[in-house]
Copies of this chain bind each other. A is one copy, B any other.
Amino acid sequence: MTEHHTTPSVVIDHPEEIPGYTYGSADAPASPLTLQDLERLRAAVDLTEEDTEALEAAARILADQADDMVSAWRAKLREQPWLAGYSGHPDGSPNPEYSAASKPRFDRWIIDACTRPLDQAWLDYQNEIGLRHTRAKKNRTDHADSLDHIPMRYLLAFTAVVIATSRQYLAKGGATAKELDRMHAAFTKSVMLHVTVWTRPYVDPVNW
């Protein structure tokens, strides 16, 4: 069976052309976090240099599959009608324009999570992604008609699906079991690092 992957080439080769993707640009406001904050979170997820190498290998396997991964995750989300208003219109009816507009950025996040260095540009764009899940900035990028805040609990809970299902996509690269374990552990750490930083705008800094 031939597998046909559909990650748009712009996502892989020219992310700077993705509408609303402001990674590394002046349109991503400065994160309130410092590089020391980031270093401590990197240590807390235990993301090592070995993990960084494993993530580079993971990126080579996942890039072509990124769009399929996002499609599968969204299919899982669509099974939960109480979530429909966050990606659809506020009444839960489908909003294909919004879904199409946000998908290349979601796809690209998978690649970025494997390849981007943990620097100021990383901090700034992750801050922006976090804000775009909350009342602060949701819907603005795509001028979308949708509920204006994704509850933090669903953001966190759905991370389990992202982590658990990523293994099957990594496995398609034909790596040894040991290499697959390394890539999957590294991807798990990277995902949790990202999601942790995305929660910052949800929480009073004194508690976060």
Contact = CB atoms under 8 A, between A and B. Distances in A.
Nearest to A152: B208
A207 B41 contact: no
Contacts of A161: 44-46, 189
A158 B208 contact: no
A185 B164 contact: yes
A141 B199 CA distance: 28
A34 to B, nearest CB: 13
Contacts of A134: 207
Majority DSSP secondary structure for residues of A touching B: helix
Interface in A44-94: 44-47, 76, 79-80, 82-83
A149 B40 contact: no
Assembly of this chain: how many copies?
2
Nearest to A204: B204
Of the candidates A44, A149, A177, A195, the one having the most CB atoms from chain B within 10 angstroms of its own CB is A44
Contact of A156 (B46, B82, B181, B199): B199
Given A164-B185, A164-B188, A181-B167, A158 B207 contact: no
Nearest to A154: B44
A110 to B, nearest CB: 17
Given A152-B208, A203-B152, A160 B46 contact: yes
A193 interface: yes
A200 B199 CA distance: 12
Contacts of A106: none
A173 interface: no
